[in-house]
Amino acid sequence: MKTRYRNTDLDLISTVPLDGLNQKLEAAGMMVLGTHQNGDGDWTTVLGIIGEEDDCFWVDVETTIVAMLNILESLPEQERRAFEQCKLREFNAAYDLGDAPVGFNQGLSVDTISRMAALKTSLRITLYPGDG
């Protein structure tokens, strides 16, 4: 199995339900992968970008995050405030680990990191072990 980029989710945690925000994000091209209320009363939403495995959004982490940033930066004021009040705003980039190639890397440009910082979003990396 080859090491490869899998996808990037946007994880949000809020003290209030994010139904209105989720609707705007879905209308703009994101999809709600899950939403639930945690035991401590906070609401968690996991979002992804709409696309097929052969779309550009599945090529690398930067392309996917830039697509999501474009959507987030275009939110109307009310939904932007709902996004900004979230306790957690985190991009979670996932990779499948394999035995080839010997070296594998992907990065984020300064522009993308600056845009993430302006929205006060963090980055998490998740590694999934190979099946072999």
For residue 7, pLDDT beyond 60: yes
The token pair that represents 130 in the structure block: 């190979």
Report how far residue 105's alpha carbon sits from residue 107's, in angstroms, rounded to the nearest whole number: 7
Task: Pick 9 or 58 by higher pLDDT.
Answer: 9
- For the chain, give the mean pLDDT: 92
75-94 confidence digits (pLDDT tens): 999 999 999 999 999 999 99
Q: What is the pLDDT of residue 11?
A: 98
Q: Which residues on neighbouring strands pair with residue 17, listed in sequence order? A: none
Q: What is the pLDDT of residue 98?
A: 87
Residues 6+ apart with CB under 8 A from 27: none
Q: How confident is the model at residue 101 (pLDDT cuts 50, 70, 90)?
A: confident
Give Cα 47 distance to the centre of its chain: 6
Q: How confident is the model at residue 132 (pLDDT cuts 50, 70, 90)?
A: very low
CB 76, CB 24: distance < 8 Å? yes
23-70 confidence digits (pLDDT tens): 999 999 999 999 999 999 999 999 998 775 556 556 899 999 999 999
For residue 104, pLDDT beyond 90: no
Report how far residue 52's alpha carbon sits from residue 50's, in angstroms, rounded to the nearest whole number: 7
Q: What is the pLDDT of residue 18?
A: 96
pLDDT (mean) for 120-129: 96
